[in-house]
Chain A
Amino acid sequence: AQSVSQHNHHVILSEAASLELGCNYSYGGTVNLFWYVQYPGQHLQLLLKYFSGDPLVKGIKGFEAEFIKSKFSFNLRKPSVQWSDTAEYFCAVSSSGNTGKLIFGQGTTLQVKP
């Protein structure tokens, strides 16, 4: 069965620090990978996604993620975080033919101190 693992459950950073959130998945076939973000009091929204092409994908607000197939990983990065990046971050995967079914990781709480 597919699964997604996010290694960091709670990350605390100061503003301007660099961010990397780990995400690994287990599935041997073709996958589509997503990062969703939930800001305090708001709904989940898509940050970025990968489904083909350049394994380095850029999303909104300066975020990027790199798909490394050999490592089954899709880590999220940002060179310099801001206080407004404080949120819950969820990695998710879907496979072709799964009719839109997303498998989510446990989520990472990012707290950025001003």
Chain B
Amino acid sequence: DTAVSQTPKYLVTQMGNDKSIKCEQNLGHDTMYWYKQDSKKFLKIMFSYNNKELIINETVPNRFSPKSPDKAHLNLHINSLELGDSAVYFCASSQEAYRANEKLFFGSGTQLSVL
């Protein structure tokens, strides 16, 4: 069983559309994250939820909205997609949020291409 699974793996869409990426973890972790990897391979954190509560919210356009229906799920909804949103989005989870030496478990990524 995949520990952190995200869908879809590939997402190709037109500018202006609204799309969602789903993420689920079956590790029983309390904390989940969304990271964005740009074309230069830099991975940057976008959001983090701990037990359905938002704890990290980096400078991300309001068009991006995370939603956590329960602690095993963290979905990412993107409104009015722009060309610059094209990237690989990684979901991750960790046992606890408030220990900086926590190991992260990553999903396999969603490659978003905005045309």
Closest A residue to B50 using CB positions: A99
Q: Which residues of B contact A90 (CB under 8 A)?
A: 43
Closest B residue to A50 using CB positions: B101
Asked if A102 lies at the interface with its beta carbon under 8 angstroms from chain B, I say yes
Whether B101 contacts A94 by the Cβ 8 Å rule is yes
Whether A94 contacts B43 by the Cβ 8 Å rule is no
| Partner-contacting stretch, out of A12-20, A40-48, A67-75 | A40-48
CB distance from A12 to the nearest CB of B (A): 17
Whether B108 contacts A100 by the Cβ 8 Å rule is no
Whether A44 contacts B90 by the Cβ 8 Å rule is yes
CB distance from B74 to the nearest CB of A (A): 13
Q: Which residues of B contact A94 (CB under 8 A)?
A: 100-101
Interface size for chain A: under 10, 10 to 19, 20 to 34, or 35 or more residues?
20 to 34
Q: How many CB-defined contacts (below 8 Å) exist between A and B?
A: 70
Q: Which residues of A contact B108 (CB under 8 A)?
A: 41-43
Asked if A8 lies at the interface with its beta carbon under 8 angstroms from chain B, I say no
CB distance from B35 to the nearest CB of A (A): 8
Q: How many residues on chain B are close to A (CB under 8 Å)?
A: 31
Asked if A104 lies at the interface with its beta carbon under 8 angstroms from chain B, I say yes
Whether A98 contacts B100 by the Cβ 8 Å rule is yes
- Chain A interface main SS type: loop
| Partner-contacting stretch, out of B64-72, B79-87, B91-99 | B91-99
Whether A106 contacts B4 by the Cβ 8 Å rule is no
In the complex with contacts A42-B108, A43-B109, A100-B41 CB distance below 8 A? no
Please report B residues at the A interface, Cβ cutoff 8 Å.
4, 31, 33, 35, 40-45, 48, 50, 55-56, 90, 92, 94, 96-109
- Which 7 A-B residue pairs are closest in the complex by CB-CB distance? A51-B101, A104-B43, A44-B106, A32-B101, A107-B41, A94-B100, A43-B108
Show 7 A/B contacts (Cβ-Cβ < 8 Å), sorted by A: A32-B101, A44-B90, A51-B100, A99-B97, A100-B56, A100-B100, A105-B42
- Given contacts A90-B43, A100-B99, 6 further A-B pairs with CB under 8 A are A41-B108, A43-B107, A95-B100, A100-B97, A100-B102, A105-B42
